[in-house]
Amino acid sequence: MQYVIKTNKLTKQFGEQIAVDCVNIHVPQGKIYGLLGRNGAGKTTTIRMLLNLVTPTRGKILLFEKEHRKKSKEIYHRIGSMIELPGFYENLTGSENLQIFARLRGQHKKDSVQNALKIVGLDQETKKTFGNYSLGMKQRLGIAAAIMHEPELLILDEPTNGLDPVGIQQVRKYLEMLCLEKGITILISSHILSEIEQLADIIGVMHQGRLIEEVAMQELHQRNRQYVEFEVSDENKACLLLEEKFGFKDYSVHENGSIRLYSNLEMRAKLNGCFVENGISVSKINIREEKLEDYFSKLIGGGELVPSTLL
Amino acid sequence: MFPLLYCEFLKLKRSKMFLISVLGAMVAPIMVFAGLIKAKISEPDKIITYLDMLEQTNLYVLLLFGVIVYGVIAAFLFSREYTENTLKLVLTVPVSKGAFLITKLLMLFLWMMILTAVAWVSTLVLSIVGNAAEFNVNVIIQSLEEYFLGSFLLYFSMSPFVFLTLWHKNLVSPIIAAATVVLGNVALANQDLAVLFPWTSPYLIASGDIAKYHYSIETALVIIFAVSVIGFFASFIYFKKQDVK
């Protein structure tokens, strides 16, 4: 498989603190890679190292299968990026700002600025200067700057921060279109699970500077199991029955008398009858699928990812 | 390099900083003009020449106001990329850190020369308005040389302000440093040590007053050059090594 981004033991240390610890990322060509993690997990530092803004303490970065510091000009012309809240010159309009970056880049089509503004819905804002933009408009302009030269690789750090739900959906659709129709590889970081879940082909989970999981979305969905959930009056007695009478050990106990059984789901009616016969009242029976957020929550040791947005 | 420099000019569109700096460059000519008017009222017989007007303005610009204005401009050029959060975008275009630094320094040079021209033209216009005496083409040409030579030399003393800005990433420290330098200029006025102070010697060399002091022009030039090189290399090394956050 050809990797557009590949890192080997990428590490960044700020004084005593290790911000990124031996990270091995593999981003295949033409895929959307979602880098997921809580705030402070090391996502932004990793992205800054990929973009040559931060010097790694150790490790190697290969972009388009070339060492990132060698022929960096040639490599970075093929990349579009946006890191956190984008910055532009406040006294200039969106179009004037993009003109500057187009000139700095040197290679651009005549209508590239206007096209990029149209895509993000800022083509009508001809008079407003960047200083008077709303947070959402600033974010859109950042995305426009990242895509205007039609890069082969897009690196976006929390690109939907500050966007309204409709804006988030538009950006998501546009990124999907870029990947599917133009074959652009995208690395997108976020702490919002639903954003990554809906978009990414591959997910990398960062926690405390380490990449603790790198898995294809398809595989992840297969891993997530269905279970039947009983809400009972006496969970200890119910567990005893599950083990002694039925020999089931594939279950877990949760808050408020909730028991999750992960196998023999078809036995739920029989189990319900058994509980009632033994004086245990069952207030709820549900068949559920373990959500990704639970999976990630377990993965990062109970930490909180933002589960969803208003998508 | 030209597209980078051109972009530096584009960045100034609608910027109040350019207008403020032009007004700043006109402060010294206006002060000297006010002195001329005052003299005409209090001592009607006193003759104030074009040479007096141009020399006094150059003195105020190079020793007092110019240091602060040029220091603020140097700080503004670099600090805005941090405060407006644009550095990460510029560097990922990619623009090399070396090219970025050199372009900014070139822009500072051009800006200083523009302000020098503004100060010179303003003084000339105000001298005409104030009916100064003894208009002479040689005086005009000589003053032009003195203004631009002084600013050219002062430009080389600006690199420490660049380093301070890169280090602190704001306007405050360079302004404090510029104000300190101005105090130094005042304290060293008419003293031999003034030749050794790289922010005073540009005026002494440009005006020819350095001949009155014990130290040579060469000594002053070596110090200006050394300060410039140290400031530039410190800026370059620091900027090159520094992570962009």
CA distance A89 to chain B (A): 6
Distances (CA, A) of B177 to A283, B103, B163, B166: 74, 23, 11, 14
Give mean pLDDT, residues A253-273. 87
Domain boundaries for CATH 3.30.70 within chain A = 225-289
Other C-beta atoms lying within 10 Å of the C-beta of residue A204: 25
Using DSSP's 3-state secondary structure scheme, residue A188 falls into strand
CB contact, 8 Å: B42 with chain A?
Answer: no
Q: Looking at residue A305, what is its pLDDT?
A: 56
Q: B222: which residues sit within 8 A by CB, 6+ positions away? A: none
| Res. A303: pLDDT tops 70 | no
CA distance A293 to chain B (A): 30
Highest mean pLDDT among A231-235, A237-241, B168-172, B196-200 belongs to B196-200
Radius of gyration in angstroms for the set of CA atoms belonging to chain B, rounded to a whole number? 19
Is the CB of B14 less than 8 angstroms away from the CB of A145? Answer: no
Q: Which residues sit opposite A216 in a β-bridge?
A: A202
Complex-level ipTM beyond the 0.90 threshold: no
pLDDT 10s digits, B96-154: 999 999 999 999 999 999 999 999 999 999 999 998 888 889 999 999 999 999 999 99
CATH 1.10.260 for domain A225-289: no
Token digits for B66?
């110019």
Q: What element of type H or E holds B168?
A: helix B159-168
Nearest to B15 among A48, A79, A91 (CB): A91
Domain boundaries for CATH 3.40.50.300 within chain A = 3-222
Is the CB of B92 less than 8 angstroms away from the CB of A79? Answer: yes
In chain B, residues 66-105 whose CB comes closer than 8 Å to chain A: 80, 84-96
Nearest to B92 among A51, A106, A129 (CB): A51
| Res. A203: pLDDT tops 80 | yes
With CA atoms as reference, the chain A residue closest to B87 would be A87
| Res. A4: pLDDT tops 60 | yes
pTM above 0.95, yes or no: no
Q: Quote helix, strand, coil % in chain B, to nearest 5.
A: 80, 0, 20
Q: Is the CB of residue B113 less than 8 Å from the CB of residue B148?
A: yes
Distances (CA, A) of A176 to A5, A32, A180, B129, B237: 19, 8, 6, 68, 42
Least confident of A191-195, A264-268, B6-10, B127-131: A191-195
Q: Looking at residue A162, what is its pLDDT?
A: 74
Half-sphere exposure of B198 (CA within 13 A, CB side): 22
Q: Looking at residue A309, what is its pLDDT?
A: 40
Nearest to B156 by CA among B240, B226, B63: B226
Using DSSP's 3-state secondary structure scheme, residue A19 falls into strand
Nearest to B86 among A53, A88, A99 (CB): A88
Name the pairing type of β-strands A153-157 and A79-83. Answer: parallel
pLDDT 10s digits, B187-241: 998 899 999 999 999 999 999 999 999 999 999 999 999 999 999 999 999 999 9
Average pLDDT, chain A: 87
CA distance A19 to chain B (A): 13
Q: Which residues sit opposite A192 in a β-bridge?
A: A306
In CATH, the architecture of A3-222 is: 3-Layer(aba) Sandwich (3.40)
Nearest to B113 by CA among B21, B14, B4: B21
| Res. A197: pLDDT tops 90 | no
CA distance B245 to chain A (A): 8
